[in-house]
Structure 1
Amino acid sequence: MRHPRRRLVLFASLGVVILLAIPAIWLGVKWNRALSNINKMIVPTVVLPTTAAATPEPLAVVETPDPELPPLPEPTAVPPPDGVQNILLVGTDARIGEDVSRTDTMVWVHLDPQANRVSMMSFPRDLWVNIPGYGKNRINTAYLTGETKLGKGYGPALLKKTVGDLVGVPIDHFVLINFDGFKTIIDKIGGIYVDVPKVIDDAKYPMDEYAGDVRTMKIHFDAGRQLMDGSNALIYARTRHADSDFGRNQRQQQVLMAIFDRMREQGLLGQLTSLDDYTDVLSNYIRTDLSRTDMLGLAGVGSRLHSENIQRFAIDAKMVTPRTTPAYVLLLKDQKALRLLVNQMLDPSAAAAGGENPAP
């Protein structure tokens, strides 16, 4: 007959194992749910036809999401990317799965995991550039051109090629988010703190929903540090009539930094246990050609990154000449100035020697 004390020890041991297993099972369920949500965000990488104006074959898939969910890793088990990543952040007012539109926001992010350094560069949406296969046009038409002229899924590829040719650096990946997703992520993290440098009054801010013939509304921001929800942060990032598109580019970068700071201070970048809460909310608003491994690795880089390691650049008013006829566009004055700016963005020593062109 087994000793009662031994039975008690065995029972207690089993109880401990079960208690330890419950959070592990719960975490595994959340992890698998998160990965399923991430899969919804990932779209195939496509290859542009040799002649961009030609009618392409059906989507040429280079990489597709792995349908099998990997086992739950430890937070430290997801390695950071080995090499430099060039990622294009794209904002659009079109809803995912609905009609496409021109891109409202374009920010090139250069990430060097080994140096633990990130640079970002904004492009004014009216910048006059060459769109491969389609001639000169505003940079914000490249995505729309790819989607409408080549076919669904080709917009990001043509936009990456357009920006890559402009800066002389191949763009590896894109992340596309619409305005609803932008507002949702900010509300999900409890809003963001933004230090507004000066009073902003815009009497012609475009309304999301028209009220009869009324298509604009008045908006106002006081100067100073303030907490913004998603709707106010979107208005702050989009308003431009108080100054210009260049001021708007600075505000967009400021909001991106505020989102990063808010997520970092809350520990969200390295917090796998809450990952599914965010992926579930964002899966309907974001599309990207980053793989799951890339996304998790980049999150690991972000958790170690500090604001002072992020450098900000922009094509500003000094680098362009406005042309008003037949339509308003911005022409680059000098390719050398752009080359210098790109070199400063890619090389910290060049930035130190030549000075930065950051948003304040």
Structure 2
Amino acid sequence: MKKYGIVLLVLLLLVVVACTLPSKIFTPQASLLGLKDYVLVAPPGSSPTPTPFQPIPPTPTYLPTSLAPEATATAQPPTPIQDIEYTSDLGRNWEDYPGPSVWPDIDVPAPLGILSHPEGQVNILLLGSDQRPDDGGFRTDTIQLLTINPQEGTVKITAFPRDLYVYIPGYTVQRINIAMGWGGFEALADTMEYNFGVKPEYYVLINFWSFVEVIDSIGGVTVQIGRDLCDQRDAFGWYCVSQGTMWMSGESALWYVRSRYTTSDLDRGRRQQEVLEAVFDQLVNLNGLQRAPELYEIYKQNVTTNLNFDFLASFLPIATHLAESREIVGHSIGEEQVYNWTTSNGAMVLVPMREPVLEMMRHVISEP
């Protein structure tokens, strides 16, 4: 039973990162940030760096010598719940991070600092790679933060759109999905700390074919489809599913959670939640003791991570609770936290707005 509970948690990671949660695009609006929120201002007429499929090598660093450290955000943490111990906000300045090696085409905001959070909190980045078989480079087109508070038994998942245009310490301002390909997990963790106030300690990285294998290994899933869907599907052309109950193989489930040409990202998020629920239902119906070794082998063969079995075992009570209750709080960086911005080469990106991001991250990180 011990290993079964761990597999439930592992499969949660696998299923979640194989999907891309909503990041709705909307009409551009003015930034809510003032000049005081920036530590590096793009010079007039500067040209944006292109978004590469694979990160370009850094160029020499040229930084002004008159940069003064900026104060970190002043928003107050929520009132602590009784008997829960919190860390204090940990301020950060521009000088705490490496400067850009490629001059950015947009102003660089001051670092957010590490936000107050319950003692013992664990943050794990769940990453989905766009890598194809035999490809060398990759981008993390799915980025989700799994926040676990063991003492309170709470679990939160926060989605970060791949097109977030953020400062990658030591590189430049670019889409967040290239940070790990440029500098490894440490670069992505630093990027999360600088822009969102949390530095994840662990990561789980998978590819999309792993999702298919996981679904097929448990015999497929029976999905409660909330509304009709028609979209393009490889080898099928125009493919439709109708509202109601439908069994899906791994390939069908992957198509269902990723289809986006005829619907919105918000609708895609709804479909992903339907498949996630179907996976849990199927796991509950399985003989976990017999299937757990097989499922764990799939995890080991398809996942790149700095987590180990002993670490996962320590979260057995939470995994068991999730299997029974499905009580996971979901958040997403969305239209209330970003504004659209178009680079001179025509690329559409999402620029975070400091105060709305800070408010949302307080809910994610600073509350149990």
With the length of structure 2 as denominator, give the TM-score of the two structures: 0.60
Which position in structure 2 is the counterpart of 1:294? 311
Residue 241 of structure 2: aligned partner: 221
Shift of 1:345: 2.3
Mapping of 1:132-151 within 5 angstroms?
Answer: 132-146=169-183
Distance 1:133 1:119, change over 3 A: same
Are 2:189 and 1:160 aligned? yes
Q: How far apart are 1:97 and its partner, in Å?
A: 8.0
> Of 330, 335, 339, which residue of structure 2 is paired with 1:312?
330
Match of 1:285 among 292, 296, 302: 302
Equivalent residue of 1:317, what SS? Answer: coil
Which residue type is aligned with residue 316 of structure 1? Answer: G
For 1:277, the aligned partner's letter is: E
2:127 to 78, 84, 90: 90
> Is 2:364 aligned against 1:345?
yes
Q: What is the root-mean-square deviation in Å for CA atoms of aligned residues?
A: 3.3
Residue of 326, 334, 349 corresponding to 2:353? 334
The structural deviation recorded for 1:288 is 0.6
Check if 1:126 corresponds to 2:126.
no
Tell me by how many angstroms 1:141 deviates: 1.3
Change (3 A) 1:308 1:274: closer
Structure number having the greater helix percentage: 1
- Structure 1 or 2, whichever has the larger Rg, is 1
Shift of 1:217: 4.5
Deviation at 1:348, TM superposition (A): 5.4
1:154-213 superposed Cα distances (whole Å, 9 cap, x missing partner): 2x232232223332011011011111111111111222343333322334x6x5xxx9xx
2-side partners of 1:169 and 1:237: how far apart? 28
- Give 1:333 deviation, angstroms: 5.4
SS at match of 1:241: coil
Partners of 1:275 and 1:346 in 2: CA distance? 32
Deviation at 1:338, TM superposition (A): 1.4
Aligned to 2:206: 177
Matched, 1:276 2:293: yes
Distance in 1 (alpha carbons) for counterparts of 2:99 and 2:186: 10
SS of 1:218 mapped into structure 2: strand
TM-score by length of 1: 0.62
AA at the equivalent of 2:332 = A
Residue aligning to 1:109: 146
Report the alpha carbon displacement of residue 237 of structure 1 after superposing the two structures with TM: 2.0
Contact 1:116 1:301 in 2 (8 A): yes
How many percent identity over aligned positions? Answer: 30
Q: Out of 283-292 and 301-310, give the one that drifted further.
A: 301-310
Q: Which runs of 5+ in 2 are unaligned?
A: 8-96, 102-118
The 3-state SS of whatever aligns with 1:109 is: strand
Match of 1:259 in 2: 279
**TM-fit CA distance, 1:96:** 7.8
3-state DSSP class of the match of 1:283? helix
Structure 2 match to 1:39: none
Higher relative contact order (CA 8 A, sep 6+): 2
Letter in 1 for 2:190: K
